[in-house]
């Protein structure tokens, strides 16, 4: 009997080992967190909501830059274990608190975070020549409404639209349209993807100049050496034709609409999203 049990245990261990060997884990990933304040002030505010939450991943194994939007209405447990909206974490716990909660739920290590005041991004968009994005009639109308019909570059209707920094920022700020916050985060990724793509044609020194131009409107939890490392790594990847991959959390079918303290939230199954997120990271 004992021999039979030992044989069974050994067989199970071998099977588990074979499964582990069959799982391909990508160990060449570096994660950063990009947060955006969606106010109209010129400076970073310590009590602002971070309505833009993007995990930027440099994947050196598969030569891709992955931008993962985390929707602002996701419900998440704060550092005390109490449920809250994810866009409220920064106000109470700062950058490190947002990082710790996302690391816990997604089982990743985040190198550091950058909090951006988007008002300071407008001149950078203009300096890079603007962006060209296909918009629909609803988006065109929303941009005109946000800017109070007061801009010579306003889109007059649907189609491919060249956007200055002011127009692009209004486009990213559209809240009430088809797709809700899922559509809003997709618009943000489109603009950021184009900006990163434009950096392919810059020298490393020019890229540092872009960073210096926008850094005054940032709060950063990275050391100077980490910042230089991130810029150098990102520059190396985009100049070697890295692909841009877009992803979002929560994935379809992994949440339901709920209410928390009188506010609408997405009640997220974080364990399922963690599994799907790692599946994406480990497969090209």
Beta bridge partners of 161: 133
Using N-to-C axis directions, what is the helix angle for 137-146 and 165-172, rounded to 10°?
110
Report whether 83 contacts 76 (CB < 8 A).
yes
Of 30, 24, 83, 78, the closest CA to residue 232 belongs to 30
Residue 101, token pair as written in the block: 């909660």
Residue 189, token pair as written in the block: 């990724």
- pLDDT tens-digit profile of 205-234? 887 777 777 777 788 898 888 888 888 888
Report whether 97 contacts 115 (CB < 8 A).
no
Tally of residues, the chain:
284
What's the CA gap between 230 and 232, in Å, rounded? 5
pLDDT in tens, the chain (284 residues): 544 444 444 444 344 443 444 456 788 999 999 998 866 666 666 667 888 899 999 999 999 999 999 999 999 999 999 999 999 999 999 999 999 999 999 999 999 999 988 777 888 888 888 999 999 999 999 999 999 999 999 998 999 999 999 999 999 988 777 677 888 888 988 898 888 788 878 887 887 777 777 777 788 898 888 888 888 888 888 888 889 899 999 999 999 999 999 999 999 999 999 999 999 999 98
Q: ∠ CA 228-249-227 to the nearest 5 degrees? A: 5
Residue 203, token pair as written in the block: 């020298």
Measure CA 70 to chain center: 6
State the pTM of this model. 0.81
Domains and CATH numbers, the chain: 29-117+203-281 (3.40.630.190)
């Amino acid at each position: 009997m004992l021999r039979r049990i030992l044989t069974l245990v050994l067989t199970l261990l071998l099977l588990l080992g074979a499964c582990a060997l069959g799982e391909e884990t990508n160990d060449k990933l570096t994660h950063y967190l990009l947060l955006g304040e969606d106010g109209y002030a010129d400076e970073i505010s310590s009590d602002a909501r971070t309505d833009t939450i993007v995990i930027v991943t440099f994947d050196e194994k598969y030569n891709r830059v992955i931008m993962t939007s985390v929707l602002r209405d996701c419900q998440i447990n704060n550092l005390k274990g109490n449920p809250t909206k994810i866009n409220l974490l920064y106000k109470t716990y700062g950058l490190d608190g947002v990082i710790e909660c996302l690391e816990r739920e997604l089982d990743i290590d985040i190198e550091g975070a950058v909090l951006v005041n988007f008002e300071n991004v407008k001149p950078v968009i203009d300096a890079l020549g603007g962006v060209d994005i296909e918009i629909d009639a609803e988006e065109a109308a929303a941009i005109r409404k946000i800017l109070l019909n007061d801009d010579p570059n306003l889109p007059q209707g649907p189609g491919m639209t060249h956007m200055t920094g002011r127009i692009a920022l209004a486009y990213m700020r559209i809240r009430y349209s088809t797709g809700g916050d899922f559509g809003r985060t997709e618009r943000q990724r489109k603009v950021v993807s184009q900006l990163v793509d434009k950096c392919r044609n810059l020298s490393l020194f020019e890229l540092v100049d872009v960073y210096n131009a926008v850094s005054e409107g940032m709060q950063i939890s990275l050391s100077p050496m980490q910042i230089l490392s991130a810029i150098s790594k990102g520059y190396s990847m985009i100049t070697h034709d890295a692909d841009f991959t877009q992803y979002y959390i929560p994935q379809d079918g992994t949440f339901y609409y709920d209410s928390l303290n009188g506010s609408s939230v997405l009640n997220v199954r974080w364990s399922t999203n963690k599994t799907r997120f790692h599946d994406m990271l480990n497969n090209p």
